[in-house]
Amino acid sequence: MTDCDLLELAAKAADIGIWWCDQRQSFYRAGYQVAWNPLIDDGDALRLAVKLSLRVHVDIDCITKSIEVNYFDDGSYCHTVSDQNFDDAYAATRHSIVRAAAELGKMKG
């Protein structure tokens, strides 16, 4: 699944209207002139997680690194990233949030 597919499904899950701008190669929220991309923007990712009532658990210590995103409402969903080698915990967390939101978007049909 491409990043565009993930973003479209995540927006669908959260009932966020978005449109694609070919010139800037970015999604924009309907009615806004600011790009929308929770894969690269911490604020967009946080707003997406809050809107969907996602539980985000980040556990980074010197031995293990893991990020878990859960959604429990119309069915359980859990996305876990567990990799001792991921360098950017923020990027991994944003990706986990978008991945979970995209799964919810799929369930919406």
CATH code, domain carrying 27: 3.30.2120
Spell out the per-residue pLDDT of the chain, length 109, in tens.
899 999 999 999 999 999 998 888 899 998 888 899 999 999 999 999 999 988 888 877 766 677 778 776 655 666 666 655 567 889 888 988 998 899 889 988 7
Helix H or strand E segment including 18? strand 18-21
Residues spanned by the domain of 8: 3-108
Strands 65-72 and 18-21, how do they pair? unpaired
Q: Tell me, what's the pLDDT at 86?
A: 66
Half-sphere exposure of 46 (CA within 13 A, CB side): 4
The total domain count for the chain is 1
Indicate the pTM of the whole model: 0.85
Q: Tell me, what's the pLDDT at 84?
A: 52
Token readout for 10 is 């995540």
Q: What is the largest CA-CA distance in the chain?
A: 45
Which residues partner with 20 through β-bridges? 27
Q: Tell me, what's the pLDDT at 92?
A: 85
Q: Tell me, what's the pLDDT at 77?
A: 65
